[in-house]
Amino acid sequence: MFLWARVDVFTDLQPVLTPTVVTRVWTDPALLSAGLAFATSALLILLAHELGHYIACRLYRLPSTVPYFLPVPFNFGTFGAFIRIRAPIRSRAELFDVGIAGPLAGFVMLIPFLLYGVWRS
């Protein structure tokens, strides 16, 4: 049976955000620092990904918006980000270049964080 089909596997994870745990995280500098480091690196990688798409759009003179981050209520983070391309893409090469620019930029931003994490572990 698939792991995702087993709901009972995740029942022990429900009491994670009790008031005691939240208070401990906000008052312990080590936990706060670790969470801030993770959140910062994740958001920078996500921003680089979206900026890769945005810069590729600019190179092809496609009108697009700057990246929008989709917030999640209750301080859980973000649902992700997106840009809106306001003109039709004219060729397959253009579509490929705009599409691949995001993952490549995200990967380039990931490398320093990966090296730092391996060095610290």
Domain residue extents for the chain: 40-121
pTM: 0.75
Whole-angstrom distance, CA of residue 33 vs CA of residue 40: 10
What CA dihedral angle connects 38, 41, 43 and 48, to 10 degrees? Answer: -160
For residue 39, what pLDDT is reported? 86
The alpha carbon of 83 is separated from its chain's Cα centroid by a whole number of angstroms, namely 14
Amino acid type, 107: F
Enter the tokens of residue 84: 């809106």
Per-residue pLDDT of the chain (121 residues; tens, 9 = 90+): 444 555 555 555 555 667 777 788 778 888 888 888 888 999 999 999 999 999 999 999 999 999 998 888 766 677 889 999 999 999 999 999 999 999 999 999 999 999 998 998 8
Handedness of CA 3, 5, 8, 10 (dihedral sign): positive
Enter the tokens of residue 62: 């496609």
